[in-house]
Structure 1
Amino acid sequence: MLNKYKTIIIGAGQAGLAMGYQLQLKKEPFLIIDAHQNIGDSWRLRYDSLQLFTPRSHSSLPGLKMSGNPSGYPNKDELAEYLQKYQQKFKLNVKLNKKVKSVVKVNDEFIIKTTDEKEFNCSNVIVATGPFQVPYIPKFHEELSPSINQLHTEDYKNPSSLKNGDVLIVGGGNSGMQIAVELANDNKKVYLSLGKKPKFFPYQILGKSIFWWLSVLGVMRFTINSKIGQKIKQNDPIIGKEILPLIRNGHIKTLNRATDSSGEIVYFANKTSLKPSNIIWATGYKNDYSWIKTSSENVFNSKGLPNHERGVTKEKGLYFIGLSWQYRRGSALLLGVGEDAEFIANQVTGGNLT
């Protein structure tokens, strides 16, 4: 028997919960389904030392402030508990342990099938699966010897995840930088492979969070369609400078972009090589929307990514939320997803695309 709902949100992370909150304010019926066992597991199951680069003052969803020192930086377990508390406080309708395997448009309705053979029927689907979907690792990693311990950041938990010997971290985003600092402080010999020279912003300037300054200066208001927004997107900085003294004193050695491998050796763009004992692939994630079957053309581009305007697609009733730079810099962050959720809630309930 089909479970019928007006709107189904796929994903109960911050984007899905913010979306549910906005729909509930409008008394619009909905259901959120999620593959995890618990609310917050998308954060709770990540590496132990993960810390947000936004302070608590900029890490809250609409309607509920995160408790604690507003100037402090929450860790991943604190955020997981906050999301769980958020769902409980607003009694958002969530079904867990429901991993979606397909979404198919049939006439004017969507049929959602989950891996436990359940089916859901709805008029609107809001995809809130977030930026962490399928771990991406360069294909050349397959040429490496089994003697090298390889982990993606999704599987790394703490230094005990590694075997004895040096560590090569491939990728210079915030996660790669945080893990490099943790391992260097644990007296590991750390190499960091970077595709380009990173730009660093401090956590604070003159006692105020960098995000406070960015908000005051209006930087967080620039949209993806603006010239300044495009420039910021192409040069997104690393938040925090803790790694810099470790690089200067040689505890972390930076290398060029990793380009190939063979046996026990990794090769880099400047023709150098390294024989590491461990590799952590901090190479991010890729999106996979192959499970969404649409009736309209051009819903996805040639790279398989959604064609949308502020999360609204050409397929009637199909929306996305929580995408990186969906509309502004904060679209995939707690501090910005609420605004996108409010906009999409207006569209679902008959608003105009403005």
Structure 2
Amino acid sequence: MTGMEPLAPLATAGRRIETAIIGGGQAGLAEAYWLRRAGRECVVFEARKRVGDQWRERYDSLRLFTPAWADGLPGMTFPAPRSSWPTAREVADYLEGYADMIGGSLWAGVRVDSVEMLGDGSFVISTTSGQWHAQNVVVATGSDAAPKIPEVASQLDPGIRQLHSSQYRNPAQLLPGPVLVVGASQSGADLALEAAQAGHETWLSGRHPGELPVNERIAGPFFWFAQNYVLTLKTPIGQKLRPVIRHGGSPLIRTKRADLDRAGVHRTPARTTASIDGRPTLDDGTVLDVANVLWCTGYLPSYAFIHPAVIGPDGYPTETQGVAADVPGLFYLGLVFQRGFYSHLLGGVGRDAKFIAQLISERALSRNTVAA
């Protein structure tokens, strides 16, 4: 591939590198692609032993909400029929192939424990393979560091099987009997429908987030257009909806209310907030005698390993278009709605990655000019 000659492998920790990329998912790999195209040195640290495992750990029936033609990272189209809807396993394999295509230095199975800014403006990165030093750090770990589970979970009868959506794979994990799904956004609607179709009486608890009033084949291209050109920080509606979307407010695209109703799912806007005699209780007073609870309540971001890291009241880093506030050389990539709805999606993150790669190249040129 033109302009992508392999870099010399980084065989030992402790080397000074220009840019460290933390996270080997779609965001980190896209950043490595653009940096290498620009001739900049970088290394990617991925905590999992195999690239793509964050997708292999998702539930079996998961599919993307955009067709394959809109799901490619820069430099490599998605290897599936253009009108198909890729599965999570297909995405995982695609990312693994993309990493092979890029070549260069990707350290899989290496966890970053801390990033410290030094007095000279560089960074020391402490990892499970030793220390590294870098002029720039791109944090591409995403916003799903830890499952978010309400406190009421600890009050439920231990005989109830509880699974967060990150632990759920398929209905075979469920005990016989009714199922309560907590959280009515995308994953909650998907898993409620799946549980009901598997023969479980199913409750879906949570405010309905709205839905696109078109079928999947129309919704996919519409969603792609909206995420790239409407729901961005350049538009008033994008600026208004950003905090809503960051807290799970995306409308349903594939599984709709009509699908849930046909399957016999009991939908309720009431929230699951308490426990009576070990049974989950809704905030309207309804007590549910269920055998299973699926927590589709999202994730919590975590940036405690970065020093300094300025975190806003919404739990996200304080940044502007991925540039960290008051920390030169520190960048974020792949955040939910970083510059637009597209920012955390497979087919969109490459745009932000290219933008940050340009900033890093300009920063290097500025340093070289000063040094001269």
State the TM-score, normalizing by the size of structure 1.
0.91
Aligned to 1:16: 28
Does the 8 Å CA contact 1:47/1:153 hold for their aligned counterparts? yes
- In 2, Cα distance between equivalents of 1:36 and 1:30: 19
Secondary structure of 1:289's match?
coil
Shift in Å at residue 203 of structure 1? Answer: 6.7
- In 2, Cα distance between equivalents of 1:57 and 1:332: 17
Shift in Å at residue 346 of structure 1? Answer: 0.9
**For 1:336, which of 315, 326, 348 is the aligned residue?**
348
- In 1, Cα distance between equivalents of 2:124 and 2:39: 23
- Letter matched to residue 122 of structure 1: A
Aligned to 1:167: 179
**For 1:142, which of 149, 154, 167 is the aligned residue?**
154
- In 1, Cα distance between equivalents of 2:163 and 2:282: 19
- In 2, Cα distance between equivalents of 1:81 and 1:231: 36
Shift in Å at residue 92 of structure 1? Answer: 4.2
- In 2, Cα distance between equivalents of 1:212 and 1:276: 39
Aligned to 1:124: 136
- In 2, Cα distance between equivalents of 1:166 and 1:155: 19
- In 1, Cα distance between equivalents of 2:15 and 2:170: 41
State the TM-score, normalizing by the size of structure 2.
0.87
The percentage of counterpart residues that share the same residue type is 33
1:41 aligns with 2:50: no
Shift in Å at residue 304 of structure 1? Answer: 4.1
Shift in Å at residue 157 of structure 1? Answer: 1.2
Secondary structure of 1:77's match?
helix
1:210 aligns with 2:233: no
Shift in Å at residue 300 of structure 1? Answer: 2.0
Aligned CA distance change for structure 1 residues 42 and 104 (closer, same or farther; 3 Å): same
Does the 8 Å CA contact 1:71/1:209 hold for their aligned counterparts? no
Aligned CA distance change for structure 1 residues 30 and 179 (closer, same or farther; 3 Å): same
Gaps of 5+ in 2: 1-12, 365-372
- In 2, Cα distance between equivalents of 1:27 and 1:143: 55
- Letter matched to residue 193 of structure 1: S
Aligned to 1:254: 267
Secondary structure of 1:349's match?
helix
Q: Pairwise mapping of residues 86-97 of structure 1 onto structure 2 (< 5 A)?
A: 86-97=98-109
Does the 8 Å CA contact 1:113/1:119 hold for their aligned counterparts? yes
Aligned Cα RMSD in Å? 2.1
- Letter matched to residue 237 of structure 2: I
Aligned to 1:158: 170
- In 2, Cα distance between equivalents of 1:180 and 1:215: 25
- Letter matched to residue 254 of structure 1: R
- Letter matched to residue 113 of structure 1: S
Count of aligned pairs between the two proteins: 344
Shift in Å at residue 271 of structure 1? Answer: 2.0
Aligned to 2:193: 181
Residue by residue over 1:224-282, the C-alpha shift from the partner in whole angstroms, topping out at 9 and shown as x without a partner, is 253210344435211113x4344323621112111122442112122222121110100
Aligned to 1:110: 123
Does the 8 Å CA contact 1:324/1:331 hold for their aligned counterparts? yes
- In 2, Cα distance between equivalents of 1:12 and 1:320: 13
1:287 aligns with 2:296: no
Shift in Å at residue 162 of structure 1? Answer: 1.5
Secondary structure of 1:331's match?
helix
Aligned CA distance change for structure 1 residues 217 and 268 (closer, same or farther; 3 Å): closer
Bigger shift: residues 146-155 or 182-191: 182-191
- In 2, Cα distance between equivalents of 1:217 and 1:134: 29
Aligned CA distance change for structure 1 residues 237 and 304 (closer, same or farther; 3 Å): closer
Shift in Å at residue 336 of structure 1? Answer: 1.3
Secondary structure of 2:275's match?
strand
**For 2:318, which of 307, 310, 316 is the aligned residue?**
307
**For 1:101, which of 96, 113, 130 is the aligned residue?**
113
Aligned to 1:229: 238
Aligned CA distance change for structure 1 residues 103 and 276 (closer, same or farther; 3 Å): same
- Letter matched to residue 20 of structure 2: I
Residue by residue over 1:134-173, the C-alpha shift from the partner in whole angstroms, topping out at 9 and shown as x without a partner, is 1000112111121111111111111111111111110112
- In 2, Cα distance between equivalents of 1:284 and 1:218: 20
Secondary structure of 1:89's match?
helix
Does the 8 Å CA contact 2:189/2:260 hold for their aligned counterparts? no
Shift in Å at residue 131 of structure 1? Answer: 2.4
Does the 8 Å CA contact 1:51/1:76 hold for their aligned counterparts? yes
Shift in Å at residue 71 of structure 1? Answer: 1.2
- Letter matched to residue 283 of structure 2: A
- In 2, Cα distance between equivalents of 1:98 and 1:89: 20
- In 1, Cα distance between equivalents of 2:54 and 2:346: 14
